């Protein structure tokens, strides 16, 4: 239930000007995603080295390429469930520690099976972070700048990919056992936990669903005063929001069925299709592009250099789309960048020279990452607070199915489809997704998260106050009613 007090607090958050604490939160979230991107992208530079080292065939190499995606799928699902249950902040911190430790251990791998296992575990941490951070940021940023901020935070992925490309062209390609050293480098972000532990507040929106209005008030007061406040846990209040103690029922742990009920089915179907299409295309491209270029007769060092230039094109892709998130609806921005990606993939498939491969590969990189800037802003917006992390995590996890399939499918099909066929396939996937989001997506620009959620049919809030031993909630309210 949304009470007058909680509604007032949420309105205050949405209407306050963007200030220093919002920027600091964006930096914290952005750095988390940057290191996720760095760790995730580095495998594409390691694959051409370990393939001859361990005498891997195409299927085994494809499994290495998909290992992180398998872990990300698990991590995204787990982060969504846990983020709605135990809070956004704790999931962010645990996830950072898990992926950093697993990356360090991977450096000692003596065979592809152990390396594969460690990459899966690291992927669990990366998947959890990449699902929970956009949700966390979206719940803090005022509604008039939410699309810009969340898209810009997602843009830090690009800096991570550039770091991975730099590590690939220097350490991996330039040093003996440089790929092992690179794995140790990706573990360094564990030091950020010292900063996060002292700085990160919990999401006030999540606190309100747990009946912790006093803590939410302190954090919102801090935002208004230009500082981040880590409020100490206070007593649970029966606000009609979730109250986990004082004899009140805890929320259901797994609420995935609600993603397909109460008016959410269309939103969920569109999001899942978008995540599958974009993630299939993205990982199919970036995981295999160095190896595909080598397959065309290009030296490894040259293929890494071209991959680095294509990766740099991600930055304007992310930030141009972040800007357009507020100029147009997220739906239109996503569709426009999907269409641009489809055209780029078609032209890349027909590229007659190395120069044209670079041009159209950079364009494809630009547009696909612009899609992500829109998608990371759009996904957490379409669900209510009690379902937001589950919805974001599940959509991200389902999308990883496309990412898992892409490296394996391309690894197996490249011999028959060739360079042109691979990118023609990516063109079809991106073009189809653009049509779907234009036809079925909803507009979220300039609307509060609560207003967007109210557009779906009624959902029993997990915060409905229910006394143990009674069948009916006290003053339960259905979302979607005034």
pLDDT tens, position by position, 192-233: 888 888 889 999 999 988 888 889 999 999 999 988 887 666
pLDDT at position 456 is: 58
Tens of pLDDT, residues 12-30:
988 899 999 999 999 999 9
Q: What is the pLDDT of residue 442?
A: 80
Q: How far apart are CA 201 and CA 433, in angstroms?
A: 36
Find residue 117's DSSP bridge partners.
none
For residues 297 and 312, give the distance between their C-alpha atoms in angstroms, rounded to a whole number.
Answer: 23
411, with CB counted inside 10 A (0-12, 13-18, 19+), is buried
Q: Which of 350, 373, 385 is nearest to 135 (CA)?
A: 385
Which fold does the domain 4-454 belong to in CATH? Growth Hormone; Chain: A; (1.20.1250)
User: Which residues is 465 bridged to in the sheet?
Assistant: 474
pLDDT above 90: percentage of residues in the chain: 25
Separation between Cα atoms, residue 282 and residue 370, nearest integer Å = 11
Rounded to the nearest 5°, which phi and psi values hold at 474?
-85, 115
Query: How many Å apart are CA 29 and CA 20, to the nearest integer?
Result: 14
For 233, phi then psi, to 5°, come to -65, 130
Residue 260 confidence (pLDDT): 87
How far apart, in whole angstroms, are the C-alpha atoms of residue 405 and residue 182? 26
pLDDT at 300: 60
> Which residue numbers in the chain have pLDDT < 70?
1-3, 231-255, 286-304, 407, 411, 413-420, 455-482
Helix (H, G, I), strand (E, B) or coil at 160: helix
Task: Give just the sign of the alpha carbon dihedral 356, 358, 363, 364.
Answer: positive
The pLDDT value given to residue 149: 92
Give the per-residue pLDDT at 209. Answer: 86
Phi, psi of 384 (to 5 degrees): -70, 165
Residue 102 is predicted with a pLDDT of: 93
Residue matched to tokens 């999401």:
203
Distance between CA atoms of 377 and 147, rounded to whole angstroms? 5
Tokens of 432: 């189809």
Give bridge partners of residue 77 from the DSSP assignment.
none
Considering all CA atoms of the chain, what is the largest pairwise distance in Å, rounded to the nearest integer?
Answer: 73
pLDDT at 27: 93
Number of residues written out for the chain: 482
297: tokens are 């007769």
């Amino acid at each position: 239930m949304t009470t007058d007090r909680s509604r007032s607090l949420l309105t205050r958050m949405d209407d306050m000007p963007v200030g220093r604490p919002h920027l600091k939160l964006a930096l914290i979230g952005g750095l988390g995603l940057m290191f996720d991107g760095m760790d995730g992208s580095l495998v594409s530079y390691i694959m051409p080295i370990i393939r001859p080292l361990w005498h891997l065939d195409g299927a085994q190499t494809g499994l290495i390429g998909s290992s992180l995606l398998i872990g990300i799928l698990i991590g995204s699902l787990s982060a969504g469930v846990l983020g709605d249950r135990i809070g956004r902040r704790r999931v962010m911190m645990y996830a950072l520690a898990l992926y950093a430790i697993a990356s360090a251990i991977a450096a000692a791998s003596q065979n592809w099976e152990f390396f594969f296992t460690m990459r899966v575990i690291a992927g669990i941490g990366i998947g959890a972070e990449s699902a929970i951070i956009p949700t966390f940021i979206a719940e803090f940023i005022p509604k008039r700048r939410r699309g810009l901020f969340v898209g810009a935070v997602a843009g830090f992925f690009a800096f991570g990919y550039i770091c991975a490309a730099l590590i690939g062209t220097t350490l991996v390609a330039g040093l003996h056992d440089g790929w092992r050293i690179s794995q140790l480098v990706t573990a360094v972000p564990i030091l950020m936990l010292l900063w996060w532990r002292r700085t990160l507040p919990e999401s006030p929106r999540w606190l309100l669903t747990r009946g912790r209005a006093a803590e939410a008030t302190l954090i919102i007061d801090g935002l208004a005063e230009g500082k981040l406040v880590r409020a100490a846990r206070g007593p649970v209040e029966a606000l009609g929001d979730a109250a986990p103690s004082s004899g009140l029922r805890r929320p259901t742990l797994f609420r995935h069925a609600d993603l397909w009920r109460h008016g959410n089915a269309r939103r969920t179907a569109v999001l899942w299709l978008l995540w599958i299409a974009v993630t299939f295309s993205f990982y199919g491209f970036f995981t295999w592009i160095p190896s595909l270029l080598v397959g065309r007769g290009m030296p490894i060092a040259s293929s890494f250099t071209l991959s680095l230039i294509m990766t740099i094109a991600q930055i304007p892709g992310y930030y141009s789309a972040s800007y357009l998130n507020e100029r147009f609806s997220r739906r239109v921005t996503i569709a426009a960048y999907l269409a641009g990606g489809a055209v780029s993939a078609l032209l890349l498939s027909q590229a007659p020279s190395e120069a044209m491969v670079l041009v159209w590969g950079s364009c494809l990189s630009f547009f696909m990452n612009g899609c992500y800037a829109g998608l990371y802003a759009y996904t957490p917006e379409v669900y209510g607070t009690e379902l937001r992390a589950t919805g974001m995590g599940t959509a991200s996890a389902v999308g990883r199915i496309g990412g898992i399939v892409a490296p394996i499918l391309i690894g197996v099909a490249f011999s028959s489809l060739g360079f042109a066929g691979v990118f023609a396939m990516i063109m079809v996937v991106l073009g189809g997704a653009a049509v779907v989001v234009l036809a079925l997506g909803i507009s979220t620009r300039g609307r509060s998260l609560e207003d967007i959620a109210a557009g779906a049919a009624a959902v029993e809030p997990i915060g409905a106050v229910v006394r143990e031993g009674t069948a009916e909630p006290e003053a339960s309210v259905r979302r979607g009613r005034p």
